[in-house]
A = this chain, B = another copy of it.
Amino acid sequence: MKPYSDELLSEIFDRLFPICRSISGPGLRESLGLFAEWMPLEFEQVASGTEVFDWPVPSEWHIRGARLTGPDGRPVVDFADQNLHVVNYAEPVDRILSLQDLQPHLYSLPELPEAVPYVTSYYRRHWGFCLPHALRQQLPAGDYHARIDSEFVNGGVDFAHCLVPGESEHEILLSSYLCHPSMANNELSGPLVLLGLYHRIQHWSRRRYSYRFLLNPETIGSLCFLSRHHEHLSRVLAGGLVLTCLGGPNKGLSYKASRQGDGLIDKVVRHVMAHDASWSWRPFTPEHGSDERQYCSPGFNFPVGNIARTPYGHYPGYHNSLDDKQFMDIAHVQDSIDRIEYVLRLVEIGGVFANTKPYGEPHLSKYDLYPTENSHQTRSMSADTLDDGRLRLNLVLQVLSQCDGTRCLVELADDLGINLEQLSPVVETLERNRLQAMSSSCR
């Protein structure tokens, strides 16, 4: 593994940006391989032709070049200049055709005349070129040469993941997608945040949960991952986040709840929002979104939300060439890493714990958690050695009372009107004294 620091994110971005990714093929593998320089990713592939739930795994798309040449013999657009110029998954073509016949194969954005749109056609054979509307308007009549040098190859859909183990086998899934060509906010910001979180979490002094990091092409990639691992996830998944569009200009983060709506991460984010107005909440919807649509499909109904900064569809550069590094901003990517790490630290103590001595109160003075003397002088003490207005003692008693293996500590914090962070030292004290243990995920 290469040594990582957040300062490297800009450089890693620059290496990833030019690659022509798709939901399969060499560009995807090259991108995954690049992440594998800093993360111990394990690679998996589901072969073309496999039935994955209701979906066929497509043949790989190999694109070598594409150029549209005008009547004057000069190139109108060339894939070599900008990989968005070719429709992603375009079939090969080598034809001379009139402007009129060409028009159904051209894509441009009248409202953004300088932008090159991003167009895909994965499951129906089609070809086309994407170009600025300003340029399209000036195309003269005449014969055009449309040439796309692509190939459909038997191969498969790739994805890659790794696990940072924790004290429990219960897992938090952090996933992002890697299948868009040269776009920044809606593509590379998510995987870069994932990489940053991997390194933060790996350096935590302890982890109650295990953390799984997953990179996959969107939709078909998460379906392939699910087809291989859904039984495992059913057993261990305590929560998940799909990371997407995390580098845009918005100040705070935006959370789309899981379909359950009251999973552990749902509850923790709701708690964070009550103390930080920069967050916003999107209720679950199956109408649009990213891979949480698959994780939250009714058969799985996994507690997986989606976290974004400047979500898809809510900015002009969405799915076109304006979504570049300048729009995205590496500093926002780093800020997103900070904020999501904060949420995950709260997730560590927000779940369901069990009091290991639940029959009667534990004899707390034995652990220096209660004053041994009962007098007017000790009424404000948490222990013989701690005169703190009973702040700690009251939280110790509350946590022990709640730790019944059914209720989340984040709910206790909400009930007490305190920040969940304040419970962290209490939880650690009780764990150290073996009075409490994380009992299971709170889904």
Contacts and interface: CB of A to CB of B under 8 A. Distances in A.
A56 interface: yes
Nearest to A406: B298
A230 B360 CA distance: 11
Contacts of A293: 361
Given A287-B398, A319-B376, A373-B121, A359 B297 contact: yes
A191 interface: no
A65 interface: no
Interface stretch (A202-210, A362-370, A420-428): A362-370
Interface in A40-64: 52-56
A108 to B, nearest CB: 9
Contact of A372 (B124, B363, B400): B124
A359 B53 contact: yes
A117 interface: yes
A300 interface: yes
A242 to B, nearest CB: 14
Interface in A345-395: 355, 357-363, 365-366, 372-377, 384, 390, 393-394
A46 to B, nearest CB: 13
Q: How many copies make up the complex?
A: 3
B53 A357 contact: yes
A299 interface: yes
Given A121-B373, A298-B403, A374-B120, A226 B359 contact: yes
Contacts of A377: 107
B54 A357 contact: yes
B363 A55 contact: yes
A240 B124 CA distance: 49
A362 B126 CA distance: 22
A43 B56 CA distance: 57
A402 interface: yes
Given A121-B372, A376-B319, A403-B298, A286 B398 contact: yes
Interface in A107-143: 107, 109, 117-124, 126
A126 B371 CA distance: 13
B365 A123 contact: yes
Nearest to A291: B360
A364 to B, nearest CB: 9
A344 B268 CA distance: 42
A194 to B, nearest CB: 22
Contact of A297 (B54, B117, B361): B361
Contacts of A442: none
A21 to B, nearest CB: 15
Contact of A402 (B117, B121, B230, B298): B298
A365 B298 CA distance: 19
A223 B357 CA distance: 13
B259 A401 contact: yes
A335 interface: no
Most buried by B among A120, A357, A375: A375
Of A52, A122, A372, A400, most buried by chain B (CB within 10 Å of CB) is: A372
A54 B363 contact: yes
Nearest to A400: B286
Interface in A212-251: 219, 222-223, 226, 230
18 contacts: A52-B360, A53-B360, A55-B360, A56-B363, A107-B375, A117-B375, A117-B376, A119-B376, A120-B373, A120-B374, A121-B372, A294-B361, A296-B401, A298-B401, A298-B405, A299-B357, A299-B359, A300-B360
Given A107-B377, A286-B398, A287-B394, 18 more contacts: A53-B357, A54-B357, A54-B362, A54-B366, A55-B363, A56-B363, A109-B376, A117-B375, A120-B374, A122-B374, A123-B365, A123-B366, A259-B401, A286-B401, A297-B358, A297-B361, A298-B358, A320-B376
Interface of A: 52-56, 107, 109, 117-124, 126, 219, 222-223, 226, 230, 259, 285-287, 293-294, 296-301, 319-320, 355, 357-363, 365-366, 372-377, 384, 390, 393-394, 397-398, 400-405
The 4 closest A-B pairs by CB, nearest first: A299-B358, A298-B404, A286-B401, A124-B372
